[in-house]
Amino acid sequence: HVRLTDGKLSPILGSGDIYLTPFGTIIHVLYAPRFLINLLSVKQLARDLQCR
């Protein structure tokens, strides 16, 4: 589950990777249909890409 801003929980109904040709891949993407916006964690992305 993912906690929404109103405190409610939204179930995660899927996960996977998104391929952004020619830029690369975003891994471990979660699908939570009650989330009305897309969020991207820059910290997690930097960690996945092993940035310093």
State how many domains the chain has.
1
Between CA 41 and CA 23 the distance in angstroms is 17
> CB of 39 within 8 A of CB of 26?
no
| pLDDT for residue 52 is more than 80 | no
Share of the chain above pLDDT 90, in %: 27
Residue 20: pLDDT band (50, 70, 90) is confident
Q: Domain range for residue 25?
A: 2-48
For residues 32-38, average pLDDT: 86
Q: How far apart are the C-alpha atoms of 29 and 39, rounded to whole Å?
A: 10
Residue 30 has pLDDT above 80, yes or no: yes
Predicted TM-score (pTM) of the model is 0.67
For CA atoms 7, 1, 32, 48, the dihedral sign is positive
